[in-house]
Amino acid sequence: MIKFEEALKLVNSVNFSLATVRVDINQSLGHVLAEDVFSDIQMPPFNKSAVDGYACRNSDLKNTLEVIEVIPAGVSPTKSVGPNQCSKIMTGAPVPIGADSVIMVEDVEEISEKKIRYLKDDVKDNICYIGEDLKEGEKVLEKGTPIQPQHIAVMATAGAVSPLVYKKVRVAVISTGDELVEPHFKPASSQIRNSNAYQLVAQVNKIGAIPEYIGIAKDTEESTREMLLKAFENNDVVLLTGGVSMGDYDYVPQVLNEMGIKLQFKSIAVQPGRPTVFGIKNNQFIFGLPGNPVSSFVQFELLVKPLIYRLSGYAFKPPKIGLPMGVDYRRKKSGRLSWLPVEINAKGEVIPLEYHGSAHINALVNARGLIAIPVGETELKKGTIVDVRQI
Task: Compute the least distance from the CB of residue 199 to Mg ion, in Å.
Answer: 16
Task: Compute the least distance from the CB of residue 225 to ligand AMP, in Å.
Answer: 16
194 binds, among ligand AMP, Mg ion, none (CB under 5 to 8 A by kind): ligand AMP
**Three-point CA angle 382, 385, 390, nearest 5°:** 110
Task: Compute the least distance from the CB of residue 344 to ligand AMP, in Å.
Answer: 27
The residue type at 85: Q
Toward ligand AMP, which CB reaches closer, 83 or 357? Answer: 357
Toward Mg ion, which CB reaches closer, 20 or 220? Answer: 220
Binding residue count for Mg ion, defined by CB under 5 A: 4
Instruction: Output phi, psi for 114, to 5 deg.
Output: -115, 10
DSSP classification of residue 260 = T
**Helix (H, G, I), strand (E, B), or coil: what is residue 146?**
strand
Give the whole-angstrom CA distance, residue 263 versus residue 285.
10
The residue type at 248: D
Give the whole-angstrom CA distance, residue 124 versus residue 322.
41
Q: Does the footprint of Mg ion cover residue 177 (CB under 5 A)?
A: yes
195 binds, among Mg ion, ligand AMP, none (CB under 5 to 8 A by kind): ligand AMP
Stretch that binds Mg ion, among 7-15, 171-179, 261-269, 332-340 (CB under 5 A): 171-179
Toward ligand AMP, which CB reaches closer, 100 or 179? Answer: 179
Task: Compute the least distance from the CB of residue 257 to ligand AMP, in Å.
Answer: 17
Toward ligand AMP, which CB reaches closer, 21 or 181? Answer: 181
**Three-point CA angle 221, 222, 224, nearest 5°:** 65
**What are the DSSP calls for 294-351, one per residue?**
HHHHHHIIIIIHHHHHHHTT------EEEEEBSS-EE-S--SSEEEEEEEE-TTS-EE
Task: Compute the least distance from the CB of residue 293 to Mg ion, in Å.
Answer: 12
- The 279-298 site mask, x for binding Mg ion (CB under 5 A), equals ------------x-------
Task: Compute the least distance from the CB of residue 380 to ligand AMP, in Å.
Answer: 28
Q: Which residue is nearest to ligand AMP (CB)?
A: 291
Give the whole-angstrom CA distance, residue 377 versus residue 26.
49
CA distances from 303 to 7, 39, 391 (A): 8, 37, 13
Task: Compute the least distance from the CB of residue 289 to ligand AMP, in Å.
Answer: 9
Q: What stretches of the chain show up as alpha helix (H) in DSSP?
A: 4-12, 149-158, 196-206, 221-233, 252-258, 293-299, 305-311
CA distances from 181 to 186, 188, 276, 293, 360 (A): 8, 9, 23, 15, 18
Toward Mg ion, which CB reaches closer, 160 or 239? Answer: 239
Task: Compute the least distance from the CB of residue 255 to ligand AMP, in Å.
Answer: 13
- In the complex, the residues that contact ligand AMP under the rule CB under 6 A are 175, 177, 179-180, 192, 194-197, 241-245, 247, 250, 290-293, 359
**What are the DSSP calls for 29-40, one per residue?**
TT-BBSS-EE-S
Toward ligand AMP, which CB reaches closer, 157 or 245? Answer: 245
CB 355 within 8 A of CB 341: yes
Task: Compute the least distance from the CB of residue 288 to ligand AMP, in Å.
Answer: 9
Toward Mg ion, which CB reaches closer, 242 or 293? Answer: 242
267 binds, among Mg ion, ligand AMP, none (CB under 5 to 8 A by kind): none
Toward ligand AMP, which CB reaches closer, 207 or 244? Answer: 244
Toward Mg ion, which CB reaches closer, 163 or 243? Answer: 243
Q: Does the footprint of Mg ion cover residue 341 (CB under 5 A)?
A: no
DSSP classification of residue 134 = B
Q: Does the footprint of Mg ion cover residue 242 (CB under 5 A)?
A: yes
- Chain residues that interact with Mg ion, rule: CB under 5 A: 177, 242-243, 291
